[in-house]
Chain A
Amino acid sequence: MKTELTVNGRTHVVEIEPRTTLLDVLRDRLGLTATHAGCEHGVCGACTVLVDGEAVRSCLILGVQADGLDIRTVEGLTTGDGTLDIVQDAFCETHGLQCGYCTSGMILAAHALLRANATPDEEDIREAISGNICRCTGYQQIVEAIELAAERMRTSNVLSAGEVVK
């Protein structure tokens, strides 16, 4: 089925089977492998992407359902010259990752939160990442990373990580 996907601002027209998940389209058809395949049934959050600015699981959306929607993956956070965006940088600084498997999902979940709420407290942060499983960090450094990113976004006048709307 012919499907039009807008990923990181670029429009792709792909011919896909209805049973193909958005996750598989991103990884296998578009080569965007920063979105990780974890459990593939909606439990782990590793495949989180932004759809119309909101964090959702790409394994729980069929590619054909994403027709016409605005999709953003970790590849779309930066310009591609190796510069990290504010949230990625904060994860590095606070050791918010070890193996890195959950990290792309965590970063996009954090982005969705920070777009809607510029001053999240710890409870807001834990709620925002409640659907993302990390088996390494124990979550504490991830929470610290998002707190740091929020602070930097508030004080930065160059928001490479999107707009804070509230």
Chain B
Amino acid sequence: MKPAQFDYARPKTVEEACGLLAGDMDARVLAGGQTLVPMLAMRLSRPSVLVDITRIEALGGITLGADTVAIGAVTRQAAALASEVIRDEVPLLAKALRHVGHPPTRCRGTMGGSVAHGDPSAEIPLAMTVLGAGIVFADDDGEEEAFDPADFFLGPMLTSAPMGGLLTRLVFPRRGTAPTGTGFREIASRRSDYAFASAGAQVVLKADGTCAEARLGIGSVGDTPVAVDVAGLSGTRLTREDIRDAVAEALEDLETVDDLHATARYRKRAAARLAELALTEARDDALEQAG
């Protein structure tokens, strides 16, 4: 379990990092290293040079904008979990972060790293998929390009990240003033382990208590996290039957995969149940805010 040889660079600016990445096809970005270092140890990854971006100050920090919360790529997952801005403005992400790894890996693991890696069972990409958050890359010409999660996550550990580009920040929409409830559920064999199935949901209520907007995403069951259309819940009171019927219809064509841990059939059943639980949790959360 020892990595093969590589060089190491620790740039201080985004431009310098992009230059290093653009100049060498086999260069890889090193952020928290909580997934990359095991891949190096198992020699699944053999980069020529690791570009350590964690000391680039411009890539840190959580910024509250008019409609958005921008999270710097090297923000540690533990810092995001402790952030009041994220708790108040992007509550679904705050709930998802509790399921990301465990305390020691969250202390080192970064927000951008989890997204760039593109694991289909990762919680941050699922929260981004539910909320339609943006993924921003910089290149060595100083240009920026933003991606939607639906276009970014292509398959397991496969993304449309531009060659030589550097993920600089994640941009989440802020929740509105209307009651906005969230729910996040997953099943894994052990706490902190990779999930077999996961679901994230957010619902917004109107003043009369009916649903103004419902969003749902499923992770861990297929090649990428997927947003699921539950727009049919709008206008309903989100009763148990409303949720059950909407989930059953929305997940009818959900593609799930078999592996050593769970069959495709099990994953499909689990996804439906978790989706119901997440939507119910979101509804109850919103009703509590509505008083």
Interface set of A (CB-CB < 8 Å, partner B): 1, 17-19, 21, 24, 39-42, 45, 48, 51, 54-57, 59-62, 64-65, 67, 109, 112-113, 126-128, 130-131
Shortest beta-carbon distance, A11 to chain B, in Å?
19
Q: Are A130 and B1 in contact, CB atoms less than 8 angstroms apart?
A: no
CB-CB under 8 A for A62 and B105, given A42-B34, A54-B78? no
**Contacts beyond the supplied A54-B78, A59-B41, A61-B108: 6 A-B pairs with Cβ under 8 Å:** A18-B6, A19-B3, A60-B38, A62-B37, A113-B103, A130-B191
Q: Are B1 and A41 in contact, CB atoms less than 8 angstroms apart?
A: yes
Please indicate the chain B residues that have their CB under 8 angstroms from the CB of A19 in the complex. 2-6, 40
| A45 vs B6: C-alpha distance when bound (angstroms) | 25
Closest to A53 in B: B107
| B60 on interface, CB distance cutoff 8 Å | no
Q: Provide the main secondary structure of the chain A interface.
A: mixed
Interface set of B (CB-CB < 8 Å, partner A): 1-8, 10, 30, 33-34, 37-38, 40-42, 50, 52, 54, 78, 101-105, 107-108, 191-192
CB-CB under 8 A for A61 and B37, given A18-B6, A40-B1? yes
CB-CB under 8 A for A57 and B8, given A19-B40, A41-B41? no
| A41 vs B34: C-alpha distance when bound (angstroms) | 9
Please indicate the chain A residues that have their CB under 8 angstroms from the CB of B30 in the complex. 62, 65
Q: Are B6 and A60 in contact, CB atoms less than 8 angstroms apart?
A: no
Shortest beta-carbon distance, B108 to chain A, in Å?
5
Q: Are A17 and B1 in contact, CB atoms less than 8 angstroms apart?
A: no
Please indicate the chain B residues that have their CB under 8 angstroms from the CB of A51 in the complex. 107-108
